[in-house]
Structure 1
Amino acid sequence: MRTSRIVAVGAVGIAAALALSACSGGSGGSSGGSTTLKLVVADYGTGPSNASATYWQGIADAFHKKNPDITVKITSIPWTGFDQQVQTMVQNKQYPDITEGDYFSNYAQDGLLYSADEVLTNPGNLLSTFKAQGTYNGKQYGMPFTTSSRTLFYNKKLFQAAGISAPPTTWADIKADAAKIKAKGATGFGLPLGPEEAQAESLLWMLGNGGGYQTAGKYTIDSAANVETFQFLTGLVDAGLTEPNPGTVNRTDLWQKFAQGQVGMINGSPALIPIIQSAGKLGASDWASVPIPGKTGALDTTLGVCDNVAAFKPNGHQAQIKKFLDFAYQDAYQLKFDKEYDLLPATTSAVQALSSDPVFGPFLTALPKSVQYPSDTAWANTKTKIQQTIGTAVTQDPKSVLGQLQKVATSGQ
């Protein structure tokens, strides 16, 4: 999430060295009738227990009590390095058994993954909204574990001080409101286009102009609509209505500044809520969230992100993986994770259990109409390049920057 992607703070361990040492290759995870499953997870790092490894260790311990012949060994990797480190493991044939993080399609293409129906007793309980995003060649391999949708958060105190009576619904509103907020000494709009999750922020703006990364399954990153979108964002930046140098600023940092009352507007997910609460600067009545503004009006759709579980074949632990995933996908653990990190469930039964929640309800309502990231094998490399470079589209020629990204996306097609 992360959507996704969703919150990328906190390092656990010694990054790549720890990840590789924790994931010895081959089938050495079984001995004397016992099995060790290697679980590699992205570190969300913002809940009460901080590191995601703490959440997963609780599941692993409870699972081991019921299945004493299976031990689950956990490696937690910060979001900013997760994809790269898992790729390195796979390249070195030091295969995990299960990952919980991001993309899967390249591994499915290489025949390394079990399909959802091979490692879940009830794959039909996974939210159908994300089935296509998790599918490769007509088969579901990416299994959503947690989900999120996006809205615009705005500081009601700053709006009142600036004489703004209603939240924005259009880009023109955003520009006008940001100028009034700037005049009061705060950042008008938080625009995180740094490497943490530039692909999400960019897509939210593209959607507002009828654009996106793909049209009818084909990459259209440098479309006229997307170029116009970044021309508008360049105008915001040039006018000083955002933070300086958005291409170097990460979402997590700007969320903290919003929580401190220093930013008037920012796009966010439910994961922003505990950050606001823990900062203690904004009360429940001091902020609100509304649909994402578009060029001509508020969007009736938004970005929907899921973080996928992938189950790897090379170690030969299908039966043990299935036991563990059936255990981990119980509603109790789905809801525990969502409450811990203020994210959304990935199963129909857990969504039903949470549907009446006053905080999560609006975000759950947005999920069925949400737009997902591409799921083809070009997306992994394209996403990385977007994270690294799309922020320069607000300081350089947008058409040139988006054109280079289009070449990356289509180079293998």
Structure 2
Amino acid sequence: MAAVGVAAVSMVAAGCGGGGSSSGSGGDKTLTVWLMSGSAPDATVAAINKDFEAAHPGVKVKYEVQQWNGIGQKLTTALTSGGPDVIELGNTQVAQYSSQGTLLDVSDATNDLNGSQWLSALKDEGAWGGKQYGIPFYAANRVVIYRTDLFQQAGITAPPTSNDEWLADLTKLKGVQGVDPLYLPGQDWYVWLSFLWDQGGELATSSGDTWKSAINSAAGKAAFDFYKKLVDTSGTSAPKDADEATPQQSDVVAKGNTASFIGFGYELAAVEKANPALKGKFGAFPIPSKTAGQTAPVFLGGSDLAIPGNTKNADLAKDWLKLETSAKYQSQLAANGVVPGTSTDTSALDSTTTGKAMAAGAKNGKGTPVTPKWAAVEADNPIKAALTAYLTGQKSLDQAVSDADAAITKTLGSAS
């Protein structure tokens, strides 16, 4: 999956260059930085570049905004023939490029880059073979976004703090005429993933370099079962054979009769833009756990930053990253509505209800398996097909899970 940012979310190493250079290093050089569209506010990047150029006389930053569409081929070309000195990668893309040996090992620079406060999920996905190649940039995670007025009409005075309370609240919401208690498409597998992890399960396990699916387990089946309980209890109008993008769930919620959905703050912004009459009527809470008082683990989608192994400006690239990973600029990312990658200070997110819920959920954030093969699993995701088959009764729980498990293991074991 590529990064999520404030838009939709989706991403032989050279020597370390002797560590970060001093603040006075410079010369007539150009440092080329590639970031993805929507990842960071222009003002923040401009301020970083200004501080960097002031500390490095003669060095100019060439900042280029890239589009996610087609970025894979563009990165592959750049990482083999040269170009940028700092790049942004979707967190699930890093393993692909790390395993190909095209990124710089930055293990010796982690302390300089605020490594003690890195988001663990993005840090793990930026590592390969015991070395660190990706530096956490930012992340975002799903929360439950709900209509406060409709919850009040149903007699719900506080957000649920467990799965049982959540189901009970959905039952109450069914009593409000004309209201869809929860819009939950049948193939929203990232939501399902929270339930898998909450049950103590994993997507896949490894033995050496060999990976295999782990979803055919008691935890995997319990995750499918709870997903079905949410769908059945809410009586959702969402299609069982599509995900949250078909149709865009924000378009559905904007019609005004949906009491809750599971998504991102930017989706709420889209709802309020499409239907201004709904502005100010929403609250948010972290995805509940089966254990009362806890939150379920969540998938942290986002981005890592990396230095191409073929750069001629490794020290300068590390110096630019020192600024980006500093508390000063990480707080600006948080103010933009995302979880900062290299800072535990998420207080700037508290200004919005979705931001506050996201920060709370992100403390229990996780990532997908760190293998370059995982991207191929998501490309033709067997979990989506299994969810539809189980929800529609096409397959039994055991058969749906078993088929998906076998398909994932086959993909993970396929030749590159």
1:373 aligns with 2:368: yes
Say if 1:88 and 1:107 are closer, same or farther in 2 by CA, change over 3 A.
closer
The amino acid across from 1:132 in the alignment is D
Pair 163,229 (structure 1): closer, same or farther in 2 beyond 3 Å = same
CA gap 1:364/1:167 in 2 versus in 1, 3 angstroms: closer
Structure 1 unpaired stretches of 5+: 11-32, 46-50
Q: SS at the partner of 2:367?
A: coil
Cα 1:128–1:331 change in 2 (3 A) is: closer
SS in 2 for 1:123: coil
Q: Look up the SS of the partner of 1:247 in the other structure.
A: coil
What is residue 328 of structure 1 aligned with on the other side? 324
- Of 339, 343, 346, which residue of structure 2 is paired with 1:344? 339
Shifted more, 241-250 versus 255-264: the winner is: 255-264
- One-letter code of the match for 2:238? E
1:137 has 2:129 as partner: yes
The corresponding residue for 2:16 is none
Asked whether the equivalents of residues 211 and 225 of structure 1 are also in contact (C-alpha less than 8 Å), the reply is yes
Q: Equivalent residue for 1:222?
A: 216
User: Which residue matches 1:105?
Assistant: 95
Q: Tell me if 1:158 matches 2:163.
A: no
Partner of 2:285: 290
Correspondence 1:73 to 2:63: yes
**Matched position secondary structure for 1:187:** coil
Q: Which amino acid aligns with 2:340?
A: P
Within 5 Å, give how 1:11-410 maps onto structure 2: 34-44=28-38, 56=45, 59-60=48-49, 63-64=52-53, 67=56, 68-78=58-68, 81=69, 84-85=72-73, 88-89=76-77, 93=81, 96-102=84-90, 103-117=93-107, 122-125=112-115, 127-130=117-120, 131-171=123-163, 173-175=165-167, 177-178=169-170, 181=173, 184-191=177-184, 198=188, 200-214=190-204, 219-234=213-228, 237=231, 240-245=235-240, 247-250=242-245, 253-255=248-250, 257-258=252-253, 261-271=256-266, 274-275=269-270, 280-282=276-278, 284=280, 286-295=281-290, 297=292, 299-303=294-298, 305=300, 306-340=302-336, 342-348=337-343, 351=345, 354=348, 360=355, 363-386=358-381, 389-396=382-389, 397=395, 398-399=400-401, 400-410=403-413
- Identity percentage over the alignment? 22
Give the aligned residue type for 1:223. Answer: S
Amino acid at match of 1:324: W
C-alpha spacing 1:254/1:4, structure 2 compared with 1 (3 Å): same
- CA deviations on 1:61-94 (whole Å, 9 max, x unpaired) are 664465442332313213xx36634554358646
- Once the two structures are TM-superposed, the CA of residue 220 in structure 1 deviates from its matched residue by 0.9
Contact 2:286–2:358 at 8 Å: present in 1 too?
A: no
Counterpart of 2:18 in structure 1 is none
* Contact 1:192–1:250 (Cα < 8 Å) also in 2: no
Give the structure-2-normalised TM-score: 0.72
Paired AA for residue 313 in structure 2:
H
- Provide the C-alpha distance between the structure 2 equivalents of 1:406 and 1:185, rounded to a whole number of angstroms: 43
Q: Is the 8 A contact 2:143 2:357 kept in 1?
A: no
Amino acid at match of 2:316: Q
- Report the Cα distance in structure 1 between the residues aligned to 2:118 and 2:64, rounded to whole angstroms: 28
SS of the equivalent of 2:144 reads strand
User: Deviations for 1:98-132, whole angstroms, at most 9, x for unmatched residues?
Assistant: 22231312222222212334566713445244233
1:244, distance to aligned residue in structure 2 (A) = 1.8
* AA partner of residue 142 (structure 1): G
**Consecutive unaligned residues in structure 2, runs of 5 or more:** 10-26, 390-394
Amino acid across the alignment from 2:387 = V
SS in 1 for 2:340: coil
**Counterparts of 2:28 and 2:96, CA distance in 1:** 30
CA contact (8 A) 2:183 2:238 kept: yes
Structure 1 pair 375/82, CA: closer, same or farther in 2 (3 Å)? farther
Q: How many residues align?
A: 375
Q: 1:129 to 1:145 in 2, by over 3 A?
A: closer
Paired residue type of 2:146: Y
Instruction: Answer with 246-255 or 152-161: which moved more.
Output: 246-255
Q: TM-score, normalised by structure 1?
A: 0.73
- Alpha-carbon shift at residue 402 of structure 1 (Å): 4.4
SS at match of 2:103: coil
Distance apart, 1:264 and its partner CA: 2.0
Given the superposition, is the C-alpha separation of residues 215 and 327 from structure 1 closer, same or farther in structure 2, using an over 3 Å criterion? same
Whether the aligned pair in 2 keeps the contact of 1:221 and 1:406 (CA below 8 Å) is no
